[in-house]
Amino acid sequence: MDVSMTLWVLTILGLCALIAADFFIGRKPHDVSVREAGIWTVVWIVLAALFGVGLLFFGNSQASGEFFAGFITEKSLSVDNLFVFILIMAKFSVPSHLQQRVLLFGVLIALVLRAIFIAAGAAVIANFSWVFYIFGAFLIYTAWKLIQEARSGEEEEEFEENRLLKSVEKKFGVADRYHGTKLFVEKNGKKILTPLMVVMLAIGTTDVLFAMDSIPAIFGLTQDPYIVFTANAFALMGLRQLYFLIGGLLKKLVHLSYGLSVILGFIGVKLVLHALHENGVNVPEISIPVSLGVICGVLVITTITSLVAARKQTAAEEPQKDSIGA
């Protein structure tokens, strides 16, 4: 899809306007209700759908299909990332009315990082076709790792601070309590970090790890930088509201890791096949309609089996509670 510089500028300005509107809406710290989160989640999904339909009419069906496949994949990976956000919020005991500010900052950092990774990835792909082998192998390895973690049955109960975060805390010092939306406060003539700033740094550093999974995944569906960027942007911009909407539901998606492992493994195989085809090997390539069907099908099956498993677990726990109460 040929994208002019004018369209790039207009798209970025449009996305900036949406981000500004999102910031304006959530500028005042408050507890986000399920109703508010639900309304804005629907708004972001509708905007993404309209953008995809616009690509169909003003671009072509392939561009539209690639956008929807990329958007759904990135949205699914973002939902999985919410697990880590919940752990971070719990680790630092973030007050509920400040959580939306933390998430907004996290989304902004993620957008900047994705833009950098996308630009670098597009440049590498344009000059070195063999990078598809690396992306494909990395996604297959990530898929295997997800399955191993899911089968182990071990759940990470607490977020562990990385070395960078610990070194920053040690160098600057951290206040013993939150000071509203302030990121720095003065103590004994020296500026120190507030816990809110530490949480934002934790979110920002984990965003780097998230990008390492998502960028190779979407490049396996499309090599068009414009579609890669817009699919990532629309998937991330509704993440804040989605956090408050399905925070409780996340614990019920017990099979989500299996579903994501299948999707990442599938895209990894697709990348390897594409690399072989680029090198003149006569192998079949997986089309976008097939990719979109597999991704949607896996997510639907994963959601259904997760909810069924969660319901069975709840039903099994109820008799135990009754016997204890008796």
As given in the structure block, the two tokens for residue 49 are 């759908």
Per-residue confidence (pLDDT) for residue 38, from 0 to 100? 81
**Is residue 213 within 8 Å of residue 77, measured between CB atoms?**
yes
Contacts of 157 (CB under 8 A, 6+ apart): 87
Give residue-wise pLDDT tens across range 310-323. Answer: 787 777 766 655 55
> Which of these, 97, 108, 118, lies nearest to 20 by C-alpha position?
108
Per-residue confidence (pLDDT) for residue 276, from 0 to 100? 86
What phi, psi does 281 have (nearest 5°)? -80, 135
DSSP state string for 61-115: HHHHHHHHHHHHHHHHHHHHHHHHHHHHHHHTT--HHHHHHHHHHHHHHHHHHHH
Whole-Å CA distances, 123 to 2, 117, 192, 238, 247: 16, 10, 40, 28, 37
The answer for 192, left when phi > 0, alpha when psi is -120 to 50, beta otherwise, is beta
CA quadruple 91, 168, 96, 109: dihedral positive or negative? negative
Per-residue confidence (pLDDT) for residue 159, from 0 to 100? 62
Give residue-wise pLDDT tens across range 89-113. Answer: 878 888 877 887 788 887 788 788 8
Position 154 pLDDT exceeds 60:
no
H/E run at residue 193: strand 190-193
Give residue-wise pLDDT tens across range 242-277. Answer: 777 776 566 677 787 888 888 888 888 988 888 887
As given in the structure block, the two tokens for residue 85 are 């956000």
As given in the structure block, the two tokens for residue 323 are 């016997």
Report which residue type is found at 33: S
Per DSSP, the chain holds a count of helices (H) and strands (E) of 11, 2
> Which of these, 239, 248, 253, lies nearest to 210 by C-alpha position?
239
- Mean of pLDDT over the chain: 81
CA pair distance 84, 91, nearest whole angstrom:
10
| pLDDT: which is higher, 26 or 291 | 291
Look at strands 184-187 and 190-193 and give their pairing.
antiparallel
As given in the structure block, the two tokens for residue 188 are 């004994």
Quote the crossing angle between the two packed helices 96-127 and 239-246, to the nearest 10°.
130
Report which residue type is found at 208: V
CA pair distance 153, 117, nearest whole angstrom:
32
Contacts of 271 (CB under 8 A, 6+ apart): 132, 133, 135, 136, 139, 216, 219, 220
Give residue-wise pLDDT tens across range 275-293. Answer: 887 777 888 888 878 888 8
Residue 217, classed as helix, strand or coil, is: helix
Give residue-wise pLDDT tens across range 55-80. Answer: 998 888 899 999 999 999 888 887 76
Per-residue confidence (pLDDT) for residue 177, from 0 to 100? 84
Q: What is the arithmetic mean of pLDDT over 147-172?
A: 70
Per-residue confidence (pLDDT) for residue 236, from 0 to 100? 83
